[in-house]
Structure 1
Amino acid sequence: MRNEVAEALLISPMAAVPTNRTWEGSHLSSWLLDCHGILYNISLIVPTTLFVAYLASQARRSVAKLSYDRSYIMVAYYVLLWIVSVLNLIWCIVQAWQCNSMKDFSWTMLSLFTKSGMLFLEVSLIAFLLQGNSASDFEALTRTFVVSGGIVAADVLLKAIYVFGFGVPLFNDGADSSNRVKWGLWIVHKLLLTAVYGLILFMHHSKWKERFPARPAFYKYICIMFLINAISLFSCVLMQNGAGFGFWLHDLVTICYHSFYLPLIYVTFLADFFQEEDLRLENVYYSEMKDAGFFDTDWE
């Protein structure tokens, strides 16, 4: 038993590669230890659970603020964030499905929907930013979602063809981890995203800088996403060439992306909106109380 636990906790390139065996039993220990190991699973499950719990704790206030402001863009992204967060939480919890041959189809479909949802958030935010500071009405939201939906739909179709048509295990790291076609496709995918974020960084330091919102948080978001995608691209290149360090790096990027990307979106694009609404409501209450004469005694 000690040897099995030691192997699950072992941090080495070989330990990062899941074994393609049937997952037996439903005990908590097997659920956490099997496939990637307890450190990997806990690193995914704990942050995603805490974030969903935070969203749930703020849901009543957030819905009230969204109803008061009636911003189509904020409502749309808040609903999307909730949907993708729940999908991502389920994806993080059932990591052991990768090592269960009976769950291969379920894991593939869940991964396809989860990753496509997160990609839709990425692409739509980029499309929204590229429209400039004036993109804040219903028409801008429609344009953003049409463009983003078309790109993500094409991405989903391509992935589905390779997974179900050619049998390429795009989402299963436990099945033929050295598949060169699989990692070649992910290299192209990450290369495109890295190039887009790199282009935005270049534009931010050029004469087109005024097209972007004048908020440091947006620039920091682009820098973080460029770094994550660049590291992910490098890990895919290593994985395609069978380098042991690539397994480590790939797992690290996966943990960072699935654990912290959605909180990053919330902090960057939604937290300030809700905070601004709090200040706005406080100002309204203050004005109403002042008009009612509550503060007249302060001047006497």
Structure 2
Amino acid sequence: MRFLEALIVKPELGSVSSSTLPGGAGGGGGLPGGWLWECHGIWHTLFLIVSSGLFLLFLAFQAKKSVAKLSNGRSHIIIAYYAFLWLVTVLNLLWCSLQAWECSSGKEVAWSVLSLFTTSGMLFLEVSLMAFLLQGNYASGQEALTRTFGISGFIVGVDIFLKGIYTFGFGVPLFIDNNEESHRVKWGLWVVHKLLVTGVYGVIFFLYRSRWRERLPARPAFYNYITIMFGLNALALVACALAANGAAFGLWLNEGAVICYHAFYLPLLYVTFLADFFQEEDLNLENVYYSEMKDAGFFDTDWE
């Protein structure tokens, strides 16, 4: 990947303009499509674009059936969540398509703004999903919607405020991975952020394996989601900690975690939370959840 080359020539990065790079944003290097391989390399960019684009196409193909299902279901939470999922999916596709901005002179602010709102939108979906499921699957009503989005909005609002202060106030390049050695405080901030997120997922993960699991939604799909997100955030935490200590392997590991998050998180969220609601046949969801709970062993004690 191109960022490995940057580790070797890092001292010269600050003096090289984007117009001197192959296919750079400044002049394109005389070659069409330079934005594909600039900064991170063509395979990095293509993988992100294809994965995010395919999910957007999936949502588009399912839109007619999904809207009809939403109209019949009349669930305020599902309607709001589905609309916000569309917004974040479009933002994520833009983020994946404009990777060259990260290394382009004059695009640093635009890239930071795009990254801030894209990652905050995805974080909002994460927090909202937790709030939805912890108060009951597919809960509806204006009160539930207000409570859920109120909690999610407050947490994400604080996150945006703090990231905005550090990025635009103190000049810490949270979303730009060039010249890491001159901004080691950035990795310290990411360690704190990942530690908090990993801690939340970790607590829920271990609750599912304890005698208090009956207090949590008894859905194997939700447990699988928690397991995957706990593992991904723990990996990102290790990567940021290594990068904060100047380890080049941490940069590589963090890039891999970022790629996985932007490529696969939204489809994972859809499968976990919305797939059953938008299934083709109008099944009784309570019977589906009962079967899942029985398969997961939640009723084994009833036979003892």
Specify the TM-score bucket, using the shorter chain as the normaliser.
Answer: 0.7 to 0.9
Check 1:127–1:107 CA distance in 2 against 1; reply closer, same or farther (3 A cut).
Answer: same
- Within 2, Cα distance between the matches of 1:110 and 1:143? 28
Q: Secondary structure at the match of 1:172?
A: coil
* Corresponding letter in the other structure for 1:253: A
Q: Which residue of 1 aligns with 2:282?
A: 279
Q: Which residue of 1 aligns with 2:220?
A: 216
Q: Secondary structure at the match of 1:171?
A: coil
Pairing of 1:110-125 with structure 2 (within 5 A): 110-125=114-129
Give me the CA root mean square deviation.
2.4
* Corresponding letter in the other structure for 2:208: H
Q: Which residue of 1 aligns with 2:26?
A: 24
Pairing of 1:1-300 with structure 2 (within 5 A): 8=2, 14=7, 19=13, 21-22=17-18, 23-26=25-28, 27-132=31-136, 135-176=139-180, 179-275=183-279, 278-280=281-283
- Within 1, Cα distance between the matches of 2:187 and 2:4? 22
Deviation at 1:132, TM superposition (A): 4.2
Deviation at 1:88, TM superposition (A): 0.3
Q: Kindly tell me the number of residue pairs found equivalent between the two proteins.
A: 273
CA contact (8 A) 1:14 1:244 kept: yes
- Within 1, Cα distance between the matches of 2:74 and 2:223? 26
Check 1:217–1:12 CA distance in 2 against 1; reply closer, same or farther (3 A cut).
Answer: farther
Check 1:205–1:135 CA distance in 2 against 1; reply closer, same or farther (3 A cut).
Answer: farther
TM-score scaled by length of structure 1: 0.84
* Corresponding letter in the other structure for 1:197: Y
CA contact (8 A) 1:19 1:35 kept: no
Deviation at 1:253, TM superposition (A): 0.5
* Corresponding letter in the other structure for 1:145: F
Where does structure 2 lack aligned partners over 5 or more consecutive residues? 19-24, 285-304
Q: Between the two proteins, what is the percent identity of the paired residues?
A: 59
* Corresponding letter in the other structure for 2:72: Y
What is the CA deviation profile of residues 72-101 of structure 1, one whole-angstrom value per residue up to 9, with x for unaligned ones? 111111111100000000000000001112
Deviation at 1:200, TM superposition (A): 0.4
Q: Which residue of 1 aligns with 2:300?
A: none
* Corresponding letter in the other structure for 2:251: F
Check 1:62–1:135 CA distance in 2 against 1; reply closer, same or farther (3 A cut).
Answer: closer
Structure possessing the higher radius of gyration over alpha carbons = 1
Check 1:263–1:225 CA distance in 2 against 1; reply closer, same or farther (3 A cut).
Answer: same
Deviation at 1:28, TM superposition (A): 4.1
* Corresponding letter in the other structure for 1:73: I
TM-score scaled by length of structure 2: 0.83
- Within 2, Cα distance between the matches of 1:271 and 1:158? 34
- Within 1, Cα distance between the matches of 2:100 and 2:56? 21
Q: Secondary structure at the match of 1:36?
A: coil
Where does structure 1 lack aligned partners over 5 or more consecutive residues? 1-6, 282-300
Deviation at 1:13, TM superposition (A): 8.2
What is the CA deviation profile of residues 31-76 of structure 1, one whole-angstrom value per residue up to 9, with x for unaligned ones? 1111011121112111001110111111111111111111111111
* Corresponding letter in the other structure for 1:274: F
Check 1:12–1:176 CA distance in 2 against 1; reply closer, same or farther (3 A cut).
Answer: closer
* Corresponding letter in the other structure for 2:49: I
- Within 2, Cα distance between the matches of 1:87 and 1:196? 26
CA contact (8 A) 2:204 2:226 kept: yes
- Within 2, Cα distance between the matches of 1:169 and 1:184? 12
What is the CA deviation profile of residues 110-154 of structure 1, one whole-angstrom value per residue up to 9, with x for unaligned ones? 111101000111111122233245844432221111011001101
- Within 1, Cα distance between the matches of 2:45 and 2:239? 20
* Corresponding letter in the other structure for 2:205: L
CA contact (8 A) 1:178 1:242 kept: no
